[in-house]
A and B are shown apart, each in its own frame.
Chain A
Amino acid sequence: MGAKLGNANRLYLKSTSSYVWVGGEQNNTNNRTAEAINTSDKSSEYNTYISGSKDGNISATIFQDDSNDAQKAAFAAFKAGDVVDWFVGEIGENNLPRSGEAGKGIITSISDTNNRGEVASRSLEIQKSGAPTFYPAS
């Protein structure tokens, strides 16, 4: 068994040419979904399905840090509507993905929460676009 803490799987965004950790990250959620297409007919009383389009999104809660390159990259992509390169997982040697999932996506939401007496936080939403790459390759 290779259980590990969620601390290890971090969200990275590509800034210039390399992945940069989204500094101040508290947690992230990496969702993957596949559409279920109903192919049932009257030959059976049970529904049957085939797998349809795959999709996914990523959400993360981070502490606001406008000096962090990944947070700056997220804002720049959000404003310009650009595609971002994301990675969720563990980075290994030479700043290359070791385990996890990488792909392209668009920033769909950046929400800041500024409560009195609490550290200013930010939630980030990424809609995945296209096929992701999984590490290590299976």
Chain B
Amino acid sequence: MGKFRSAYASLYKTARKVLKVLGVPVNETSNYPRIELHSFVENGAMDKGDSVRQVTLTVEAMSSKSASEAVSLIEGSLERVVAENLGLAKDGFRVFGVEQVQLQDITENSDSQQIIYRMLQTLTVFIETI
């Protein structure tokens, strides 16, 4: 049996790269608008061959301008993460399913009275080694 490899790092790097196409910062600034990838949880392998994995993560789109900007960003994010092949093959993985678990809308008033519009999409990504 080979050495166990985590799928999380590969998924994080690839998802960050594909979301940058939307033209806003991804996990690199505290400015708005932006997208954050967070709350990754990779469960242990689901089979005796350590092949099948399940990773949950949250994609968060934030805007200080309008709710519709946050909605557009989350829609764009899902289009890329869910519909496109994330291309983890170079790391020896294959994504064979993405499930949209929960979409949540939060409107926040900060101390400075700035309104922040946030859209949080929790995803479960199914991955196997190749």
Contact = CB atoms under 8 A, between A and B. Distances in A.
A36 interface: no
A85 interface: no
B101 to A, nearest CB: 8
Tell me what chain B mostly uses at the interface: helix, strand, loop, or mixed. strand
B126 A119 contact: yes
Contacts, number: 26
B49 A23 contact: yes
Interface residues of A, number: 11
Nearest to B54: A119
A21 interface: yes
B13 interface: no
A25 B49 CA distance: 7
Nearest to B50: A7
Interface residues of B, number: 11
A10 interface: yes
A25 B46 CA distance: 9
Contacts of A25: 47-49
B105 interface: no
Interface of A: 7, 10, 21, 23-26, 62-63, 117, 119
9 contacts: A7-B48, A21-B49, A24-B49, A26-B46, A62-B47, A117-B99, A117-B124, A119-B46, A119-B54
Given A21-B49, A63-B46, A117-B99, 8 more contacts: A10-B48, A24-B47, A24-B51, A24-B52, A25-B48, A25-B49, A26-B47, A119-B126
